[in-house]
Amino acid sequence: MFKKVFFAFCIFIFVTSCKNREAKIPAYITINEYGLETNYSSQGTASSKITTVWVEANNADLGAFELPVTFPIIANGSTELKIYPGINLNGVTSLRNQYEFFKPFEKTMDIYPGDEITLTSSGNNKLITKYQTTTQIVKLEDFEGAGINFEKTTKSDTTLDVTSEPNEIFPTTGLNETNTKSGKVVIPKGNSLVEFESLQSFVLPQFGANVYLEVNYKCEVSVTFGVFANEPGRRIQAPVVTVVPTDEWKKIYINLVTEVSAYPSANNFDIFFGAVNSDVNTEKTFYVDNLKLVYR
């Protein structure tokens, strides 16, 4: 008898507690797109590829979301939001990182159950970020000036040229900037190799500090980007990322941290990119633009 009474009591407590736990009604927040604003003269292009956001509300982590996204949030009044922009590391979709050089979106706003809010920046139809003020940006080459800041290595079978053909240059649709030229490489047929390195060498932060190479590219062959580490008495070539052929212009963020930090004795580093055309019948072309180093 005691067991039956106890069991019934437990059922009563469970049912009563469930009735007291009413489901909270969430608000819903939408982020369609996250863009970048730059001072072109000092920071280069505003071209960006922000694919992911990390969201905090009142210092609580709500998770990471691929854009575009609509996510629920439990709130009832003043809410402090922080939205951290992120990128595909080395162009790999499965490797998503917060991009530490971009400022997060921060705003305290009233959010109530049932609200539907689309986040945008003032004067825009999307969120806009800027580079952090502590970010160091080296504009390697945008092909808009006189001369080119890359030269062919002794291995190269051809040169890096400048194109102003409208169907070949990097498009700036949606950006508050004008692009009139891009870099173009035509690789001869028949197992030809092309390779180019920066005219200037760079002293880069090491010991695990992130150093990124940002590039816009379009290519008919796979193209490899990397660094030359200039140590006393020797020079070491360290490839980092190889991008695959694409008939559309793309943006990539290449993290050089492993290769740069691997050579603590290096006095400085050169940036290189190159490709091989193994087609014995057809020449291949690739294009690059807006190369810049980003670090702290």
Instruction: Please report, as a single letter, which amino acid is at residue 160.
Output: L
Q: What is the pLDDT of residue 192?
A: 96
Positions of E strands within 166-244: 182-187, 192-198, 211-219, 223-231, 234-243
Under CATH, which number does the domain 23-129 receive?
2.60.40
Tell me the C-alpha distance between 86 and 169, whole Å.
Answer: 26
Contact at 8 Å (CB) between 148 and 163? no
- 163 CB neighbour count, 10 Å cutoff: 18
- Give the separation between CA 71 and CA 28, rounded to whole angstroms: 6
Smallest Cα–Cα separation from 194: which of 215, 224, 234? 224
Integer-rounded Cα Rg, in Å, for the chain is: 25
pLDDT value of position 21: 65
DSSP SS3 for 264: coil
At 2 the pLDDT is: 40
Select from 161, 130, 106, 140 the least CA-distant residue to 256: 140
- What are the structural domain ranges in the chain? 23-129, 136-295
| Same CATH fold assignment for domains 23-129 and 136-295 | no
Task: Report CA 176 to chain centroid distance, whole Å.
Answer: 19
The topology (CATH level 3) of 136-295 is Jelly Rolls (2.60.120)
User: Do 202 and 271 form a contact (C-beta atoms < 8 A)?
Assistant: yes
pLDDT of residue 23: 86
Q: What is the pLDDT along the chain (296 residues), one digit of tens a residue?
A: 443 433 444 444 444 454 556 789 999 999 999 999 999 999 999 999 999 999 999 999 999 999 999 999 999 999 999 999 999 999 999 999 999 999 999 999 999 999 999 999 998 999 999 999 999 999 999 999 999 999 999 999 999 999 999 999 999 999 999 999 999 999 999 989 999 999 999 999 999 999 999 999 999 999 999 999 999 999 999 999 999 999 999 999 999 999 999 999 999 999 999 999 999 999 999 999 999 999 99
pLDDT score, position 16: 47
Cα–Cα distance for residue pair 81/219, rounded to 1 Å: 40
pLDDT value for 1: 45
Determine if residue 90 is left, alpha or beta; phi over 0 gives left, psi from -120 to 50 gives alpha, anything else beta. left
Which helix (H) or strand (E) covers residue 261, if one does?
helix 257-261
In this prediction, residue 22 carries a pLDDT of: 75
**pLDDT at residue 20, as a whole number:** 55
- Whole-number Å distance between alpha carbons of 139 and 116: 41
Tokens 């691929």 belong to: 66
How confident is the model at residue 7, as a pLDDT?
Answer: 40
